[in-house]
Chains A and B, each alone.
Chain A
Amino acid sequence: MSAFYQGSLVPLAVLVWPLLVGLVPVVPRWRARAVRVLPLAPLPALGFAMAGAPGELFLPDLMLGVHLAAVPGATLFLAMTALVWTVAGWHAALTLRAGPQAGIFAGFWCLTLAGNLGVFLAGDVVTFYLAFAAVSLAAWFLVVHDRTAKALAAGRLYITLAVLGEAALLVGLMIGAAAADDLRISSVREALSDAPMGQLGLAALVVGFGIKAGMVPLHLWLPVAHPAAPVPGSAVLSGAIVKAGLIGMVLFLPQLSGWQDVLIVLGLVGGFGAALWGLTQRNPKAVLAYSPVSQMGLLLVLVGTGSGGVAYYALHHGLAKGALFLGVGVLIAAATRQQRRAVLVVAGIVALSVAGLPPAGGALAKLAAKDGLPAVLVLALTLSGVTTTLVLGWFLVRLAQLEARPEPRHLWRGLFAGCMVLAALALVLPWVLWEQASALPLHYPLRSVNLLAGFWPVLLGIGCVALVCWRNPPALQPGDMLALLPERGMVVGPKQGAEGRLRRGATARYRRMALRALLRSRRADIPLQPWPRAGLVLFAGALALAALIGRPG
């Protein structure tokens, strides 16, 4: 008790602040307009990240002993997350209609944010699990915010997978914790590979994180949830929240455990497959949803190879993806052709950046990632530029055709500014951080070979986009493999099958039989009652008893 905490309280403050902001809607008077404070929620985290994520905190009494410390790469992750959340919050504050539902949205927004930040600060598995659960489950509310049938259905799918992921995660963490006899993430990670059932634990972890990270084939929720969620929700989901799964993989998978290969293979499949599948979509948000699947696939490949560029790549991806999703919202809000054009230009630039077109930030991210990879993967990474360009190009095409619901001009400006900020950051920030993230010199990205490697896939991709536009790809429902699953609602009604009736019938029969036997036993005394018989038994019994008594022995 003497030391309720040890260390610096700053990490805790970073997490608690969003929670406090989240309490604003609890006050009924503030509830309707609570969304307005959302941009404030991530600010301490941003500052914390800019300060280099200093400090470590140990709270022995809380939970099972909470340990907060920045995970490796946390600065970048935190910065990205905070930025995306800030801008998305800004967007939300401007667009969401005031009212009680907005209040709920605001509350859970903050909770999700806290969880999202928490996964980068957790030092022990329980805290990590808590943060992970918060980010997974609270995001449910972000998905279903619109309460349309589509949103609710998407929410159902989302929560199902999220819960499955949580369960898997729990198994993995428990196996790890039991093996390590310690709750610190580092110990658990070390213990996992040798633990009895460690492989099962790792598999469970891969599944759990994979679901969150949109790893093929567990990515199902992404393409369904994104179109259904409100724009800021989609932005944080694909920009920041998916990174929670990624950081999990980074934190928990021990080196050389064999699971790396699995990640690489699945990552490649996702990286290319998802991008191509995105072409079957018409809704730009759905198309865009396949992009993070593909990008996360590439990130998983990086995780699998143990590359140091994961955080750097994720930074760019998060910012860019956030900008793109917000762009959709901005476009919808656009009132004039001019505005639309502006949005499309910005989106296009960001898209090219994601595809790795030098000298945008995306190219740097890719270059940093390629450093030290085997040649095959380098090629794959380069090739992924084609698919990325393809899918994002297709996205832009679809985006351009999107119907608008114009918003007032000043509002649009705000929205556009937010989008612009993120886009700019996506383009510029990698340059700023290049020296930190990579051992390579600052001019390395500008080398011609690298420039070329950046350019040709994009050009090829643009060609393909043209091809696709000419021959429209088939239009499919979002959620690809979902179609393979049997249609099943989550609400299971009371069972009223034939079995129940049968059982009831049988019970009734037994009950009748028992009742009849009982009624018959009512007459059981009658044979004993007449005196001649009873007396006979009595006197004969007396003699018999006497004989029994007198029996020798």
Chain B
Amino acid sequence: MNAALPVLILLSSLVPAGVTFFLAQDSHTLRNTLNLGGAVVKLGLIIWMLFAVAGGASYEASLPLAPGLVMLLRVDALALLFISLSATLWFLTTIYAIAYFGTKAELSRFFGFFSLCVAATTGLALSGSLISFFIFFELLTLSTWPLVAHKQDKPSLSAARVYLAYALPGSAALLWAIIWLESATGPVLFTEPPDLSALDPGALRGIFALFIIGVGVKAALVPLHGWLPADMAAPAPVSALLHAVAVVKAGAFGVVRVIYDVFGASNVAALGVGEPLAILASVTIVWGSVRALQQDEIKKRLAFSTVSQVSYIVLGAALASPLAMIGGLVHLIHQGLMKITMFFCAGIYDERAGVRKITELNGMGARMPWTSVCFSLGAMGMIGLPPLAGFVSKFYLGLGGLEAGAPWVLGVLVASTLLNAAYFLPLLYRLWFLPAAEDARGDERAPALVVPAVVTATAALGVGLLAASPISPLGWATLIVAREYGP
């Protein structure tokens, strides 16, 4: 059973993916049942596992490919953190996507890849070895591409091309790094840090840089972030998933893995590579925000905001102090909840009111109060206002920065806060204070669209409000840091 559970979790999205591809276009009921069923099953399995792991159980399943090439699925606390997020949000996004697409064309393909994408994310989270991490990382790239290109019009295809143009060199760098490292140390399992003494510091720095380039593309670190805003051509559920759960999170998760499970925090510190990474993350945070300020499309602005926010996680990991680490890890969840809320809402605005531009948001607050409240909650969380989730992460990051002896982090956080406020508050201002245009339409008669947004927004509020409780993401993050990376 202990070997089967990770595999089952993986299968719970892989099987719907495989079957969905072969469903007829108009078998909506079957397809929806399949996808929702998979999501529910997975959620159930994960909840079961959560309790089991809390009780001390451990899960591991491996499939040797070639010598040195081992697919290892393993559950640790970090994996559990990420996988819980992805399972929950997958479930919600599935509901949302079903409502969003209705009976549009080529849904079997869409949902097939959608599930595949989640399977890849799941695998990524469960990966216990570097190489299986890479394999799922690539699977993620590949399964997201059709999602980005889903509309198949010119902007979508060009966005998809840009995506690949960034992602594939990134994975080449990642593979390069992995193989360079493993050629000296043998296969790297996350359970036991590899013996790095076989490589000289210069080589190790090079490997680290390659790793960061590899995962940094997905994490949208400046200057590797260009694909993310371009990908806004994708349908809203895709953007939502991409930004909140799958792709960028995979990158950020990768950074965490690289720093803590591959190199080890102490080595990172000894090599002196943590600080440059932290600086890079900071540059990303600021640059993403500045660019967000210049966008006049809602989704574009959100995208740049993602660029900026995801780097909080990287920053937390790079600072390599326990508190910063907690902040980074918890932001993995928090950012996910907040950003997916905002993307859900952006999609609702688009779908129900035809609103894409910021200027068109005027007065939507009154017409679409639920959506707008959720959107506002997400935005305020991003700015970092308590008691929303974003504040908690920011607070820990700040403390962590001070703890790590990097007080400049505070400056970055402040700059980010101000910039976040600068690009989100005008949206709220338009939503709530400005009168609606005369020809504006918009309603919320689509509960399946609104409810997921409300749920995630509530969650974003809840995780912040109940942050100190042991079952909150913060509690988990603290546990992870204490259990796995503690002294």
Q: Do A and B share a direct contact in the complex (Cβ within 8 angstroms)? A: yes
Q: Establish whether residues B422 and A178, one from each chain, have CB atoms under 8 Å apart when the complex forms.
A: no
In the complex, the answer to whether B398 meets A178 with C-beta atoms within 8 Å is: yes
| Choice from B296, B391, B394, B465 contacting A62 with Cβ under 8 Å | B465
Is B169's CB within 8 Å of the partner chain A?
no
Contact with A along B420-457 (1 / 0, CB 8 A): 01110110010011110000000000000000000000
* Bound: A305/B40 CA distance, A: 63
- Let me know if B410 is at the binding interface, CB within 8 A: yes
Residues from 277 to 324 in B contacting A, C-beta threshold 8 Å: 293-296
Q: Which residues of A contact B425 (CB under 8 A)?
A: 159, 163, 490
The closest CB in chain B to the CB of A159 belongs to: B425
Q: Are B385 and A492 in contact (CB under 8 A)?
A: no
- How many whole Å from B404's CB to the nearest CB in chain A? 10
**Across the interface, which residues of B come within 8 angstroms of A63, CB to CB?**
386-387, 392, 464-468
Complex contact B422–A152 (CB within 8 A): no
Q: Which residues of A contact B418 (CB under 8 A)?
A: 163-164, 167
In the complex, which residue of chain A has the Cβ closest to the Cβ of B357? A494
**Which residues in A have their C-beta under 8 angstroms from that of B433?**
144, 147, 152, 155
With known contacts A64-B468, A494-B295, A133–B386 Cβ distance under 8 A: yes
User: Is A491 on the interface with B (CB-CB < 8 A)?
Assistant: yes
Which residues of B have CB within 8 Å of A492?
293-294, 422-423
Q: Report A-chain residues with C-beta under 8 Å of the C-beta of B470.
A: 1, 61
Whether a CB of chain A sits under 8 angstroms from the CB of B366 is: yes
Query: How far apart are B477's CB and chain A's nearest CB, in angstroms?
Result: 13
Number of B interface residues in the complex (CB < 8 A) = 44
A197 touches which one: B387, B407, B469 (CB < 8 A)?
B407
Residues on the A chain within 8 Å of B465, using CB: 62-63
Q: Which chain A residue has the least Cβ–Cβ distance from B383?
A: A163
CB of A137 within 8 A of CB of B387, answer no
Cβ–Cβ < 8 Å partners of A64 in chain B: 392, 395, 467-468, 474
Indicate whether B185 reaches chain A with its CB closer than 8 angstroms. no
B384 at interface by CB-CB < 8 Å:
yes
Whether a CB of chain A sits under 8 angstroms from the CB of B162 is no
**Interface residue A349 (Cβ < 8 Å from any Cβ of B):** no
Q: Which residues of the other chain, A, contact B189 by a CB distance below 8 angstroms?
A: none
A425 to B94, CA, bound (A): 59
Pair B426/A167 contact, Cβ less than 8 Å: no
If over half of B's interface residues share one DSSP class (helix, strand or loop), that class is named, otherwise mixed; here it is: helix
| CA–CA, A166 and B387, complex, Å | 14
Number of interface residues, chain A, beta carbon within 8 A: 42
Contacting residue for A177 out of B296, B399, B407, B423, CB 8 A: B399
Q: In whole Å, how far is A167's beta carbon from the nearest beta carbon of chain B?
A: 5
B394 touches A163 (CB 8 A): no
Q: Is B417 an interface residue (CB 8 A)?
A: yes
Chain B residues within an 8 Å CB radius of A156:
429
In the complex, the number of residue pairs spanning A and B with C-beta atoms less than 8 Å apart equals: 115
Please tell me if B8 contacts chain A, counting CB pairs below 8 Å.
no
Contact present for B464 and A197 (CB under 8 Å): no
Q: How far is the CB of A17 from chain B (nearest CB, A)?
A: 18
Determine the chain B residues whose CB is within 8 A of the CB of A166 once the complex forms: 385, 417
Q: Across the interface, do B464 and A490 meet the contact criterion of CB distance under 8 Å? A: no
Q: Does B403 count as interface, using CB distance less than 8 angstroms?
A: yes
Q: Which of A32-68 contact B (CB under 8 A)?
A: 60-65
Q: Which residues of B contact A62 (CB under 8 A)?
A: 465-466, 468-469
Question: When the two chains form their complex, are residues B464 and A104 in contact, meaning their CB atoms are under 8 A apart?
Answer: no
Proximity bits, B367-404, A CB within 8 Å = 1, else 0: 00000000000001001111100011011001100110
Q: Provide the bound-state CA to CA distance between A171 and B423, in Å.
A: 20
Report the separation of the CA atoms of residues A490 and B433 in the bound assembly, to the nearest whole angstrom: 14
Q: Which residues of B contact A490 (CB under 8 A)?
A: 422, 425-426, 429
A170 at the interface (CB under 8 A from B): yes
Most central of A63, A156, A163 by chain B CB within 10 Å = A63
**CB within 8 Å for A178 and B387 given contacts A166-B417, A490-B422:** no
Residues 49-91 of A, flagged 1 when their CB comes within 8 A of B and 0 if not, give 0000000000011111100000000000000000000000000
Taking CB as reference atom, which chain A residue is nearest B421?
A163
In the complex, the answer to whether A130 meets B387 with C-beta atoms within 8 Å is yes
B45 at the interface (CB under 8 A from A): no
Q: Does chain B have a CB within 8 A of A364? A: no
CA of A126 to CA of B384, assembled, Å: 12
How far, in whole Å, are A167 and B425 apart by their CA atoms in the complex? 14
| Contact call B435/A147, Cβ cutoff below 8 A | yes
Min distance, Cβ A131 to any Cβ of chain B, angstroms: 9
Is B413 an interface position by the 8 A CB rule? yes
Q: Is the CB of B296 within 8 A of A61?
A: no
Complexed CA–CA distance, A141 and B434 (Å): 12
* B459 adjacent to chain A (CB < 8 Å): no
Residue on A nearest B397 in the bound complex, by CB: A174
Q: Tell me the complex Cα distance, A231–B209, Å.
A: 60
A114-164 residues with Cβ-Cβ distance < 8 A to B are 126, 129-130, 133, 137, 141, 144, 147, 152, 155-156, 159, 163-164
In the complex, 16 of the A-B residue pairs with CB atoms within 8 angstroms, ordered by the A residue number, are: A60-B469, A62-B466, A62-B468, A130-B391, A147-B433, A152-B429, A152-B434, A156-B429, A167-B421, A170-B394, A170-B398, A170-B417, A171-B414, A174-B410, A177-B395, A494-B295
20 more CB-based (< 8 A) A-B contacts, given A62-B468, A174-B410, A174-B413: A1-B469, A61-B466, A61-B470, A62-B469, A63-B386, A63-B387, A63-B467, A64-B474, A104-B432, A130-B391, A137-B380, A147-B433, A147-B435, A152-B429, A167-B417, A167-B418, A170-B414, A178-B403, A492-B294, A492-B423
The 6 nearest A-B residue pairs measured at CB: A61-B469, A178-B402, A174-B398, A130-B386, A163-B421, A495-B294
